[in-house]
Amino acid sequence: MAKTKAAAASRKKAGATGNRPRRPRADQSIGVFDSGVGGLTVLHAMSRSMPRENLIYLGDTARVPYGPKSGETITGYAIETADFFVDRGVKAIVVACNTTTALALDLLRQRYPIPVVGVVEPGARAALAATRNGRIGVIGTEATVASGAYAKELRAVAPEVEIFTRACPLFVPLAEEGWTGNDVARKTVAAYLSSLKKSGIDTLILGCTHYPLLAKAIGDYMGPKVRLVDSAEETAREVKRLLRAQKLQRKTGRGSASFFVTDLADRFTRVGEQFYGSSVSSAVRVVLREG
């Protein structure tokens, strides 16, 4: 991977001192990352709502999944990935992974002087806008649920909401297997969500970027009175709003998406398509610099 001295120096400065480098420019790309294919649902929503933007996606497929790992480990991974983007001169970073957002977003915001958007705030905000009875459910990986990130975000704005959470570890492998509407998917949804259904929630945050693939099975089980909040969609909306506010929108041309992975691309290519909605066959393997 060729790297100019200037880029390395700028990265070092940004990372080490938090000094502000050149102001981000509208013609730069947006870096989007996740532990694997899940964040492609966010990328998909972004490329539909911001068709002029150039998007760089990195899936840390050599170390997927982040869900069962510790905060310390995940924070280290997040810094390595953000450094990768900063070396490439992005104007913003999207942490398209609930686990990483929950555990590392604050640190990334302190460390890098460009906008860093996570998936928790947009989802929480949309849930607060949607709920009528103040009872909100949150489902996600073990790490996301254990972090309490959604509860913290929801309570910061609306201290009185009642929050019901449930970790659903099998939803990620189900989505990756493409089993999103079969018997196993329905039984798994029922097994995880039966208590949430009884809790009287009227809003359910899909707090994992894999879960939009299971939205139909989840919606069928929860019934029409429960509004599902898709954090991928909400995050794309937030990025668009933020670029507009900071006058960083790319105004002309047709946007592109390029894909990087940390392990061989075969599986990413095969599984990723159902998350992105079109082919991700051009994925390139990279080795991240250890933090």
Between 49 and 182, name the residue whose CB sits nearer to a copy of itself.
182
Cβ proximity to a copy of itself: between 65 and 113 the closer is 65
87 binds a copy of itself (CB under 8 A): no
Which residue in the set 3, 20, 152, 173 belongs to the binding site for a copy of itself (CB under 8 A)? 173
From the CB of 263, what's the least distance to a copy of itself, in Å?
5
Q: Per-residue contact track with a copy of itself, 23 to 62, x per CB under 8 A? A: --------------------------------------xx
Q: What is d(CA 39, CA 272) in angstroms, rounded to the nearest whole number?
A: 10
Q: Residue 109 gets which letter from DSSP?
A: H
Asked if the peptide bond before residue 65 counts as cis, ω within 30 degrees of 0, the response is yes
Residue tagged active-site, from 97, 261, 265, 280: 97
Q: Cα(210)–Cα(17) distance, rounded to whole angstroms?
A: 35
Whether residue 97 lies in the annotated active site? yes
CB of 107 to a copy of itself, least distance (A): 18
Looking at the chain, list the stretches that DSSP marks H as alpha helix, in order from N- to C-terminal side.
Answer: 5-17, 40-49, 71-87, 98-111, 120-130, 142-147, 149-157, 171-177, 183-198, 215-222, 231-245, 266-276
Does 180 interact with a copy of itself (rule: CB under 8 A)? no
* Per-residue contact string for residues 251-280; x = within reach of a copy of itself by CB under 8 A: ------------xx-xx-------------
Residue of the chain from 52, 63, 155, 216 that contacts a copy of itself (CB under 8 A) = 63
**Residue carrying structure tokens 């103040």:** 134
170 binds a copy of itself (CB under 8 A): yes
Distance separating alpha carbons of residues 101 and 96, to the nearest angstrom:
8
Q: Where are the alpha helices (DSSP H) in 141-278?
A: 142-147, 149-157, 171-177, 183-198, 215-222, 231-245, 266-276
Report in angstroms how near the CB of residue 110 gets to a copy of itself at its nearest: 23
Q: Does 106 bind a copy of itself (CB under 8 A)?
A: no
CA dihedral (12, 18, 22, 28) positive or negative: positive
Kindly state whether residue 142 participates in binding a copy of itself, applying the rule CB under 8 A.
yes
Using CB under 8 A, pick the residue from 46, 56, 57, 69 that binds a copy of itself: 69
Tokens 């070396």 sit at which residue? Answer: 87
Residue 37: helix, strand or coil by DSSP?
Answer: coil
d(CA 267, CA 247): 37
Give the number of residues in contact with a copy of itself, rule: CB under 8 A.
Answer: 30
Residues contacting 218, CB < 8 A, separation 6+: 189, 193, 204, 206, 211, 228
Q: Choose the stretch contacting a copy of itself; rule: CB under 8 A; options: 78-86, 90-98, 153-161, 170-178.
A: 170-178
Active site residue 168: no
User: Where on the chain is the footprint of a copy of itself (CB under 8 A)?
Assistant: 61-65, 68-70, 72-73, 142, 169-170, 172-174, 176-177, 179, 182-184, 187-188, 191, 263-264, 266-267, 290
Q: What is the set of active-site residues? A: 97, 208
